[in-house]
Amino acid sequence: GDSVTQMEGPVTLSEEAFLTINCTYTATGYPSLFWYVQYPGEGLQLLLKATKADDKGSNKGFEATYRKETTSFHLEKGSVQVSDSAVYFCALSDGSGYSTLTFGKGTMLLVSP
């Protein structure tokens, strides 16, 4: 079945550092890929998504590119802020409206001033 693997955390960075959180997936066909963010005490929010190969999703300074050849969807940000501290989840769906989401286990990001 489908699966998502993301790097274990926590990832600890200083403010303004460069961020990469790795995410790879296993799926048949052409899944849609997502990054969700969970701030402390809150539910998950969609951060960005990509629906086909080579698409780049971006939002709030975060970016991720759908790489079918390496089955990856790594999350990057050029300069993190303390307010980016959260748990980040990579997820996929099979691209149909009826499909469910398969999540990675989440990566906690801690940014210090």
Partner 1 sequence: EAQVTQNPRYLITVTGKKLTVTCSQNMNHEYMSWYRQDPGLGLRQIYYSMNVEVTDKGDVPEGYKVSRKEKRNFPLILESPSPNQTSLYFCATKFTTLPRNEQFFGPGTRLTVL
Handedness of CA 23, 34, 3, 83 (dihedral sign): positive
User: Residue 85, interface with partner 1 (CB under 8 A)?
Assistant: no
Out of 43, 69, 70, 113, name the contact with partner 1 by CB under 8 A: 43
64, 75 contact by CB (below 8 A): yes
Residue 75 CA to its chain's centroid (Å): 5
Query: Mapping DSSP to helix (H, G, I), strand (E, B) and coil, where does residue 110 land?
Result: strand
User: Residue 37, interface with partner 1 (CB under 8 A)?
Assistant: no
Out of 50, 89, 109, 111, name the contact with partner 1 by CB under 8 A: 89
Closest CB to partner 1 among residues 26, 45: 45
Out of 32, 33, 75, 86, name the contact with partner 1 by CB under 8 A: 32
Window 45-74: contact mask with partner 1 (x via CB under 8 A): xx--x-x-----------------------
37, 87 contact by CB (below 8 A): yes
